[in-house]
Amino acid sequence: MSDEIKPEDIKKGLAGVVVDYTAVSKVNPETNSLLYRGYPVQELAATQPFEAVAYLLWNGELPTAEQLAELRKVERENRPLADNVKAVIDLLPTDAHPMDEVRTAVSAIGANDTSGAKSVMEAGGTAEDNLARSIRLYAALPAIVAYGQRRRRGEEVVEPRDDLDYAANFLWMTFGEEADPLVVDAFNRSMILYAEHSFNASTFTARVVTSTMSDLYSAITAAIGALKGPLHGGANEAVLHVFDEIGSAENVKPWLDKALAEKRKIMGFGHRVYKRGDSRVPTMKDALDSLVEHYDRQDVLELYTALESEFVERKGIYPNLDYPSGPAYNLIGFDTLTFTPLFVASRVTGWSAHVLEQAASNALIRPLSAYNGPDERHIEGYVATETEKEALERPEESA
């Protein structure tokens, strides 16, 4: 097989390969647009609560008032951190990376769910069951992420508030105080922008796991592992490390000279699909601008703008969503280590929508490889058994 494969046939990183249909979202680099179930993401971010966008991703339509109220009811019921999930988190060292903590907590929630079959497709793993599991997981993640940050700061759990919607309650559980509406709005927008992005690495991971008829929790746990890397979701954390290294706008040029001379990747810039800028950046940048004004932190904007213009001028590579999100989350008060778990809390909606879609029209995902290891060789003195010899001689059509 490897003899027949030419180097140009190998699609390293699956770049440019179309592997399936999806009705969940459309990323269009030509028009620089992103549609969730047909709706431009900017319009959703400006007009919808995150709960309505989660509903849209799962069900294909925006909810009616009654449907939204029902989702909010279930979301509220599933907000509190379960005792045994808290106990699992508490067993982990406080300096564990929060993405490891979140991955472990989701895995524990999966083990807690003993409700019938766990496969996404076999009896008991119906689409309805898996949608219900998806909603419970999305509802449970804010408490896990919030507790992670509080635990590292030596603080206790803050119980959820039933009078607050998803975004406001998330901030309440993290900081133990009610956030300003402007901050809630910026945070809500970020959750919507992060929710879904077609066949990105973590979503594809979730689909690969689903394709083996494994369960929803295994798919999401694996996706969290894929998101952690700095070439993907881990970049929002990495952007803040870059900002901390640079310090202030006047240090940008010398910092960039050195970083590029060392051939470093500048986190928060570049994208596999978008080559002329990420469709989500202008909307998130507007949210960042509002936070800069609210917290009176022009210095953040100066550094942001200086690094962006210098890097774009030198390399022609534009910011991705992680670039404005990192400083926005920092201004809101999240620890840098909490940034990628926030991405998880949002993306769990897109991941689970893809798990449901993959399960509904499944094909095992199993690509081929071209072998470039040593030529065939043998263990001295080994004699094949009769059964092995028979198999080797089996005519091709009986395969």
Distance CA 275, CA 316 (A): 9
Residues 160-199 that bind ligand OAA (CB under 6 A): 197
If one asks whether residue 266 binds ligand ACO (CB under 6 A), the answer comes out as yes
Among the candidate windows 83-91, 102-110, 112-120, 262-270, which touches ligand ACO by CB under 6 A?
Answer: 262-270
The site string for ligand ACO over 186-225 (x = CB under 6 A, - otherwise) reads ----------------------------------------
Task: Give the angle 205-206-212 at the CA atoms, nearest 5°.
Answer: 95
| Partner touching 98 among ligand ACO, ligand OAA, none, CB below 5 to 8 Å by kind | none
Residue 272 is a binding residue for ligand OAA (CB under 6 A): yes
Which of 129, 322, 335, 354 does the annotation list as catalytic? 322
200 touches ligand OAA by CB under 6 A? yes
Give the chain's count of helices (H) and strands (E): 17, 3
C-alpha 14/C-alpha 10 separation (Å) is 8
The closest residue (CB) to ligand OAA is 200
Size of the site for ligand OAA (CB under 6 A): 7
Integer Cα distance of 33 and 279 in angstroms:
5
Count of positions on this chain that bind ligand ACO (CB under 6 A)? 18
CA distances from 326 to 100, 236, 333 (A): 19, 5, 11
Least separation in angstroms between residue 104's CB and ligand ACO is 22
Cβ of residue 10: shortest distance to ligand OAA, in angstroms? Answer: 20
Residue 35 pairs in a beta bridge with 26, 40
User: Which of 271, 278, 335, 354 is flagged as catalytic?
Assistant: 271
Residue 322 falls in the annotated catalytic set: yes
Length of the chain in terms of residues written: 399
Tell me if residue 105 falls in helix, strand or coil: helix
Give, as ranges, the residues between 4 and 43 that touch ligand ACO (CB under 6 A): 13
| Main-chain phi, psi angles of 28, to 5 degrees | -120, 100
Shortest Cβ 320–ligand OAA spacing (Å): 6
Give the DSSP per-residue string, 265-322: --TTB--SS-SS--TTHHHHHHHHHHHHHHHT-HHHHHHHHHHHHHHHHHH---B-TH
Which residues in this chain contact ligand ACO in the complex, by CB under 6 A? 13, 230-233, 235, 265-272, 317, 320-322
Which positions are annotated as active-site residues?
271, 322
Which residues in this chain contact ligand OAA in the complex, by CB under 6 A? 197, 200, 271-273, 320-321
